[in-house]
Amino acid sequence: MTYRNMNTIPLGTKLKLKKTGETVTLIDIFHYPTTFKVQYENGQFDNVRTHAVEFFDE
């Protein structure tokens, strides 16, 4: 497992939601606590905590 600094993930990165398996796109990063603003494939936006997402294998 590789450590990732969650504050430096490039915007536009595709992520997978652990709970639903949906693919989302990283739009913005909020700090303290680190939270991601993501966009679903249907165009809706949501804020999720970093522990709620997984990265696709690179």
DSSP string, 1-58: -----TTSPPTT-EEEETTT--EEEEEEEETTTTEEEEEETTS-EEEEEGGGEEEPP-
Range of the domain at 21: 14-55
**Residue 57, pLDDT score:** 66
**Residue 1, pLDDT score:** 53
Query: Is 2 inside any structural domain?
Result: no
Query: Is 30 inside any structural domain?
Result: yes
Count up the domains in the chain and report the number.
1
Query: Is 45 inside any structural domain?
Result: yes
Query: Is 3 inside any structural domain?
Result: no
Q: 52 phi and psi, to 5 degrees?
A: -95, 0
**Residue 16, pLDDT score:** 94
What pLDDT digit, counting tens, does each position of 6-58 carry? 777 899 999 999 999 999 999 999 988 889 999 999 999 999 998 899 887 64
